[in-house]
Amino acid sequence: MSVFTLPSEEALTRWLEHYSIGRLLKFEGIAGGVQNSNFFVTTTLGRYVLTLFEDIARAELPYYLHLMSHLARHGLPVPAPIANRDNEYLGTLAGKPAALVSRLPGSSAAHPSVEHCARIGAMLAGLHLAGRSYGRRQPNPRGAHWRARTAALLRPSLSDDDAALLDAELRFQESADADFSRLPFGAIHGDLFRDNVLWAEDGFIGGVIDFYFAGFDALLFDVAVAVNDWCGQIDGALDLARADALLAAYHASRPFSDAERGIWPLMLRAAALRFWLSRLAARNQPRKGELVLVKDPDEFRDVLRLRVHNAVPPLPSA
């Protein structure tokens, strides 16, 4: 989360008059993430998170907000969107599409344990199972088409070594496109990193946040994104104990298919490629704002190299 657009306190106070959540007491920008402007909002009736959407088309936003509402109704620790008095989740503030969601308890875990990873695996399986009954479909905004298009734009700015890595990986990914049709698809989070999960004091997950990269895609892609981050060591190599715990807990609720087992190493590479490219794009085209976080793209370039050359832990079978 970041702050690119800062509404005035007066404008926010007027905007909140369309809601039934009390009067504004305070609001503050959230420093973290990279896409939208986010704020903690405290009113006389509770605490919320306000998001101003900077570059997501307004027509795409109902997919994310209704997905969050759907998952929250199914008992998952997901922020519930707050409807205004016209029963709408989406409004306009400071010239931007805007939404309020409930603020969930907890803080992120910078150094996850085996137990953390097991809970993440179980939660992600629950999210995928609940998502089966979500009737809306919208493609993953950072899917294969986006990766190919973004790679073409970024390639001229890369070093020779990085360009060679990118070209080789794109060729490899394209050669395996046909295999994706045999995989289970559904609603995915798309960005399940450590900073998008809040942990309560009792060790349980207090919240899963930032669904604005969600979409309809291979469920295994979501698993790969999570494993690359939650189970990665400082050098990017996978911690086998954490990876085994996450995958086993997931498999216990939603067993992996034979097709998923066959394509697992490729999917880890696709997930690494996606975040290398998005971080490169953010670094090459910096955005102005009050609080802006730009993450190091070299981290996921190195992860990609490791996934290309090193064996990865297999998916559970029985």
Domain count for the chain: 2
Q: What is the tens place of the pLDDT at every residue in 164-183?
A: 999 999 999 888 766 788 89
CB 93 within 8 A of CB 5: no
CA–CA gap between residue 133 and residue 73 (Å, rounded): 12
H or E element, residue 114: helix 114-131
For residue 109, tell me if it sits in a domain: no
- Taking Cα atoms as reference points, which of 127, 112, 276 lies closest to residue 189? 127
pLDDT of res. 1: 42
Q: What is the pLDDT of residue 24?
A: 98
Half-sphere exposure of residue 168, counting CA atoms within 13 Å on the CB side? 12
User: Hey, is 215 helix, strand or coil?
Assistant: strand
pLDDT value, residue 294: 65
Same domain, 188 and 268: yes
The answer to whether 210 touches 64, Cβ cutoff 8 Å, is no
- Provide the whole-model pTM: 0.94
pLDDT of residue 295: 82
Cβ neighbors of 300 (< 8 A, separation 6 or more) are 228, 272, 273, 275, 276, 279
Residue 79 forms part of a structural domain: yes
Residue 316 located in a structural domain: no
In a domain, 107, yes or no: no
76 and 29 in a single domain? The answer is yes
Following CA atoms 62, 140, 304, 240 in sequence, which dihedral angle do they give, to the nearest 10 degrees? Answer: 70
Domain boundary among 102, 128, 162: 102
Q: Is 203 left (phi over 0), alpha (psi -120 to 50) or beta?
A: left
Same domain, 270 and 178: yes
Q: Are residues 162 and 245 in the same domain?
A: yes
Q: Could you give the C-alpha distances from 137 to 123, 187, 217, 219, 276, in angstroms and in order? A: 21, 8, 9, 14, 26
- Give the pLDDT band of residue 32 (cuts 50, 70, 90): low
Distance of CA 187 to CAs 14, 243, 250, Å? 35, 22, 16
> Do residues 179 and 282 share a domain?
yes
**What was the pLDDT predicted at 177?**
64
Last residue of a domain, one of 102, 130, 151: 102
Q: Report the pLDDT averaged over residues 63-90.
A: 98
Structure-block tokens of residue 182: 């045999």
Domain annotation covers residue 4: no
Q: Would residue 90 count as lying in a domain?
A: yes
pLDDT at 111: 96
The overall longest dimension of the chain from CA atoms, in Å, is 59
Name the domain boundary from 58, 82, 102.
102
pLDDT score at 291? 46
Supply the CATH number for residue 70's domain.
Answer: 3.30.200.20
pLDDT in tens, 279-308: 999 888 765 555 455 689 999 999 999 999
The pLDDT of residue 34 is 64
Question: What confidence score (pLDDT) does residue 104 get?
Answer: 96
Q: Looking at the structure, tell me whether residues 89 and 137 fall in a common domain.
A: no
CA distance 186 to 131: 7
Q: Which residue has the higher pLDDT, 282 or 70?
A: 70
User: Taking residues 136-150, what's their average pLDDT?
Assistant: 94
- The CATH number for 193's domain is 3.90.1200.10
Q: Do 168 and 207 fall within a single domain?
A: yes
Q: How far is it, in rounded angstroms, from Cα 256 to Cα 258?
A: 7
What is the percentage of the chain residues whose pLDDT exceeds 90?
88
pLDDT (0 to 100) of residue 174: 85
Same structural domain for residues 97 and 123?
no
92 falls within a domain: yes
- The tens digit of pLDDT for each residue in 101-116 reads 999 999 999 999 999 9
Q: How many residues does the chain have?
A: 318
Q: Token pair for residue 213?
A: 């990269």
Residue 175: predicted pLDDT: 84
Query: Could you tell me the two tokens for 64?
Result: 């994310």
Q: Quote the mean pLDDT of the chain.
A: 94
- Which range, of 28-32, 58-62, 71-75, averages the lowest pLDDT? 28-32
pLDDT in tens, 207-248: 999 999 999 999 999 999 999 999 999 999 999 999 999 999
d(CA 51, CA 58): 13
pLDDT value for 278? 95
> Which range marks the domain in which residue 80 is found?
9-102
